[in-house]
């Protein structure tokens, strides 16, 4: 089936993976799968892959274990038994199905640990933090629960901020901070490592009413409206109700 890429983004600890949204040239032959946000529940799942040189698709039984990793947003998938097939090449991007047939995630990576194959999925919950609101499937396009941001949400904002070119150079990073409102500027501490600085900037901005919106306005003025990394940061901040919708019109 022919399709075009309408959105994509690098993912993973080194940015060597990617997630993409495709628009099919013709209608799908079947109803799309239901989506389910299962949080950190540990559950048995099934994954269908298409390894090379196999006569038919391969079905793997696995179990979700542990919480979502704060750095990557991924969740671990363990093979249930060493006597059965494990997730290997040919499973990237495969849907992860629960017992009810709903998709709870998408396979992102795998590796060998000793004699065991270990894999990770991107849970449905994390799709909200990555996709522009207009591209979210209806079942995922839900309002965020009120309350403080979680550590994972703060980390997701910081990781997107790291990709904005104007903050990657220490000198222009200081200019960004110096351009913030006085209370925020006086509270920000720059230590040098990009990841640490960006997490601290997000954490400080969240302590002030409109702090993230002020940060976005400064970045927009310095980076310009055509920056794709800045747009990704904007989309997540907007989803988390940290922007009012007026920041793009100074």
**Nearest alpha carbon to residue 104 among 153, 151, 59, 47:** 47
pLDDT in tens, 196-215: 999 999 999 999 999 999 99
pLDDT digits (tens, 9 = 90+) for 2-15: 888 888 888 777 76
Which pLDDT value is given to residue 249? 58
Identify whether residues 162 and 81 lie together within a single domain: no
pLDDT at 66: 86
What pLDDT does 208 receive? 92
Residue 179 belongs to a domain: yes
**pLDDT for the residue numbered 153:** 82
Q: Which residues pair with 29 in a beta bridge?
A: none
Q: Higher model confidence: residue 84 or residue 250?
A: 84
Full domain range(s) for residue 101: 30-129
From CA 201, how far away is CA 216, in angstroms rounded? 12
| Contact in structure between 59 and 42 (CB atoms under 8 Å) | no
Residues 35 and 140: beta-carbon distance below 8 Å: yes
Residue 53 lies in a domain: yes
pLDDT at 142 over 70: no
Residue 134 lies in a domain: no
132 — pLDDT class (breaks 50, 70, 90): confident
pLDDT digits (tens, 9 = 90+) for 20-69: 888 888 887 777 778 888 888 899 999 998 988 888 888 999 999 988 88
Mean pLDDT calculated for residue range 112-130: 81
Summary mean pLDDT of the chain: 84
Residue 140 forms part of a structural domain: no
Q: Is 56 within the bounds of a domain?
A: yes
Does residue 178 fall inside a structural domain? yes
| 113 contact partners, CB below 8 Å, separation of at least 6 | none
The answer to whether 57 and 42 are in contact (CB under 8 A) is no
How far, in Å, CA of 190 to CA of 39, rounded? Answer: 34
Provide the domain count of the chain: 2
d(CA 117, CA 86): 6
Three-class DSSP category at 186: helix
- In a 3-state reduction of DSSP, which class is residue 47? strand
Task: Flag whether 219 is in a domain.
Answer: yes
Total Cβ atoms within 10 A of residue 143: 7
CATH number at residue 63: 2.40.10.10
Q: Is the pLDDT of residue 84 over 90?
A: no
Q: Is residue 58 a part of any domain in this protein? A: yes
Q: Are residues 105 and 164 in the same domain?
A: no
Global pTM?
Answer: 0.56
Tell whether the model's pLDDT for residue 173 goes beyond 60: yes
Mean pLDDT of 232-243: 85
Average pLDDT over residues 231-244: 85
What pLDDT shows up at residue 247?
A: 67
Whether 177 shows a pLDDT value over 90: the answer reads: yes
Place of tokens 């522009």: 132
Q: Report the distance separating Cα 157 and Cα 182, nearest Å.
A: 22
| Claim to verify: residue 196 and residue 113 sit in the same structural domain | no
Please give the Cα distance from 21 to 36 (Å, whole number): 18
């Amino acid at each position: 089936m022919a399709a075009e890429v309408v959105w994509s983004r690098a993912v993973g600890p080194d940015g060597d993976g990617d997630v993409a949204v495709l628009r099919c040239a013709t209608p799908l032959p079947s109803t799309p799968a239901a989506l389910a946000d299962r949080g950190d529940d540990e559950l048995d799942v099934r994954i269908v892959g298409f390894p090379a040189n196999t006569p038919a698709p391969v079905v793997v039984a696995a179990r979700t274990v542990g919480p979502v990793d704060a750095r990557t947003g991924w969740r671990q998938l363990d093979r249930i038994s060493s006597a059965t097939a494990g997730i290997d090449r040919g499973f990237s991007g495969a849907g992860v199905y629960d017992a009810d047939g709903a998709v709870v995630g998408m396979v992102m990576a795998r590796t060998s640990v000793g004699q065991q194959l270990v894999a990770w999925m991107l849970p449905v919950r994390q799709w909200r933090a990555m996709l522009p609101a207009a591209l979210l499937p209806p079942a995922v396009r839900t309002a965020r629960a009120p309350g403080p941001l979680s550590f994972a949400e703060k980390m997701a904002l910081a990781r997107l901020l790291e990709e904005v070119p104007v903050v990657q150079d220490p000198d222009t990073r200081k200019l960004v901070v110096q351009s913030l409102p006085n209370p925020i500027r006086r509270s920000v501490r720059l230590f040098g490592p990009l990841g640490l600085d960006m997490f601290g900037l997000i954490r400080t901005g969240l302590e002030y009413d409109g702090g993230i919106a002020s940060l976005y306005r400064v970045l927009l003025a310095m980076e310009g409206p055509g920056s794709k990394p800045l747009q990704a940061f904007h989309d997540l901040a907007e989803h988390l109700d940290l922007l009012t919708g007026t920041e793009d019109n100074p």
